[in-house]
Structure 1
Amino acid sequence: MQPRSSGRVVVHTSSVSIYPKPDNTFEHKDYFGNQVYSFAIESLHRELKVTASSNVSVEPIALPLATKQNGESFFEGDMPWETVVEQSRTALTLPLRVLEYRFNSPRITASDVFASYAKKSFTPGRGLFAATEDLTRRIHDDFEYNTVLTDVNTPTEKSFGLRAGVCQDFAHIQIACLRSLGLPSRYVSGYLRTIPPAGTERMVGADESHAWLSVYAGKGHGWVACDPTNACFAGTQHIPICIGRDYGDVSPMRGVVLGGGTTSLRVNVDVEPIDAVVAASGA
């Protein structure tokens, strides 16, 4: 729930409050570098409330200069995607922290089906940025955003066959496509700005946790994030919280509850510019 600091995201303040007060707490970073807050409540309680609050600065992603020719994007310095695949074949050329995202994970398995779908965008010699942009748009256009047909446990192959799902499914599908071509790609969980800047449309996934992905774009470019739910590269409206191989590595909360009866879950997310918060408070 606490934002992840990166080259373009600076976390100025961050806090987590829990009700009822835990008997034990422990903070650490997991294998992927995500902030983890562990706690135990050993007394009887009927409600568990976890509130996370953060103040962050988000800089735009430095994408290469793009031009349009006959409706197709061309990015300055965009290397052929096959070159990135070759760079990703050995630890002699790339760090293991990049290479590990080439392989299958518990919820994502590469296959010829995903590779075939991806190759309509990743044609021979095409630049990786241009091909990734096209695949991101195609998933947005070809798949229905539907909150009923899938859940957090739906296999990627099933959501692909249904041609429907939510942000988690679309991120899994695009990662499966990219890994099936040999391109390292990772799952990103985070938040979207609740109210978009003037003149822009409200993104799908605001007011709740959101999912997108990042693909390794080769030496000199590093990781580039894209959002198939909204058919775009991730920008200043995207605030990353966790990264991992798939959703199983980054679920917002997990644990064990002992007790009976029925339970319900409610999640609220608000992401607002600081100046808007100050204006609303009258300060």
Structure 2
Amino acid sequence: MLYDVILKISYEYEYAATGGRHLLRLMPAHIEGRQHLITGYLDIKPRPNERTDTYDAFNNTVSHVVYYLDHPEISFNLKARVECLTQNSGLNMSPNLAGLRTELSSINSLAPDSPYHFLGNSPRVRINAVMTSFAYTHTNDEMDAISVVENIGMALHREMTFDPDATTVETPAEEAFEKRTGVCQDYTHIMIACLRGIGIPAGYVSGFIRTIPPEGTERLEGADAMHA
């Protein structure tokens, strides 16, 4: 299926910024066997003094942007066409946690898709004893890894309350988990910490949700959203 994606992000500063440096990861990714980026264009206003488009270690497109002059506002406008490929769920062949540890120990690679990148602490996610204990209460040694992931996700869904005013982009996952409230990025950071704590590789993905309007109503542009 083909999707035409339009994303608009804008900021108005309280006081004009005297300069700036930004790393932007907004372009949809090409994921072998799952989605194909046909075309994409990122327009930035005001026009930056320097711009370099490259790829990071995980093959995400990164735009490096630098401003030397004052600017009271900034906007990022993305247009892209993406083909999403049909996925066959297939059979659940995932091992239990003990089997997963054995499989991971046999991997000797630090390639971009290596699970070792997604097992330890990272700048936004720290393995935490409280969240690890929570994860273990929703699993057992006989459950396969996919079932463990589903169980922990459903447990967080039951116990957490979505509140856009409860946290900020700087709120640690530990604080959001203690309060049992937050937004999608908090849920995701907590889930990652839970999974890594019990030895399941997990990483952060940001994408777009396509909403389906009620039957008989027109689909509204701008009704969809980015989501973690």
Normalising by structure 2, what TM-score? 0.76
Hey, what's the Cα distance between the residues in 2 that align with 1:60 and 1:169? 29
Alpha-carbon distance, 1:61 to partner: 4.0
Within the candidate set 78, 93, 103, 2:94 is matched to 78
Q: Is the 8 A contact 2:145 2:200 kept in 1?
A: no
Q: Is the 8 A contact 1:20 1:41 kept in 2?
A: no
Within the candidate set 21, 26, 37, 2:47 is matched to 21
> Secondary structure in 2 aligned to 1:209?
strand
The count of corresponding residues between Structure 1 and Structure 2 is 192
Q: Is the 8 A contact 1:87 1:94 kept in 2?
A: no
1:1-283 to 2 correspondence within 5 Å? 1-7=26-32, 8-65=34-91, 76-88=92-104, 90=105, 92-96=106-110, 97-193=114-210, 195-196=211-212, 207-211=224-228
**Residue of structure 2 in register with 1:273 after alignment:** none
Q: Is the 8 A contact 1:22 1:41 kept in 2?
A: yes
Q: Is the 8 A contact 1:167 1:210 kept in 2?
A: yes
* Contiguous gaps of at least 5 residues in structure 1: 66-75, 200-205, 212-283
Alpha-carbon distance, 1:60 to partner: 4.1
Aligned partner letter, 2:93:
G
Alpha-carbon distance, 1:177 to partner: 0.6
Q: Is the 8 A contact 1:11 1:54 kept in 2?
A: yes
Hey, what's the Cα distance between the residues in 1 that align with 2:70 and 2:122? 37
Hey, what's the Cα distance between the residues in 1 that align with 2:142 and 2:85? 31
Alpha-carbon distance, 1:62 to partner: 3.5
1:130-179: CA deviation from partner (whole Å, max 9, x where unpaired): 12112111111110001111111111111110001111011111110111
Change (3 A) 1:134 1:20: same
Change (3 A) 1:77 1:43: closer
Hey, what's the Cα distance between the residues in 2 that align with 1:78 and 1:26? 41
More deviation, 30-39/49-58? 30-39
Hey, what's the Cα distance between the residues in 1 that align with 2:75 and 2:124? 29
Q: Is the 8 A contact 2:97 2:145 kept in 1?
A: yes
Hey, what's the Cα distance between the residues in 2 that align with 1:29 and 1:109? 26
Q: Which has the higher strand share?
A: 2
Q: Is the 8 A contact 1:81 1:122 kept in 2?
A: no
Alpha-carbon distance, 1:6 to partner: 0.3
Q: Is the 8 A contact 1:121 1:132 kept in 2?
A: no
State percent identity of aligned pairs: 29
Hey, what's the Cα distance between the residues in 1 that align with 2:69 and 2:130? 50
Alpha-carbon distance, 1:43 to partner: 4.2
Q: Is the 8 A contact 1:12 1:54 kept in 2?
A: yes
1:170-204: CA deviation from partner (whole Å, max 9, x where unpaired): 111111011111111111112211x32777xxxxx
Normalising by structure 1, what TM-score? 0.62
Alpha-carbon distance, 1:12 to partner: 0.5
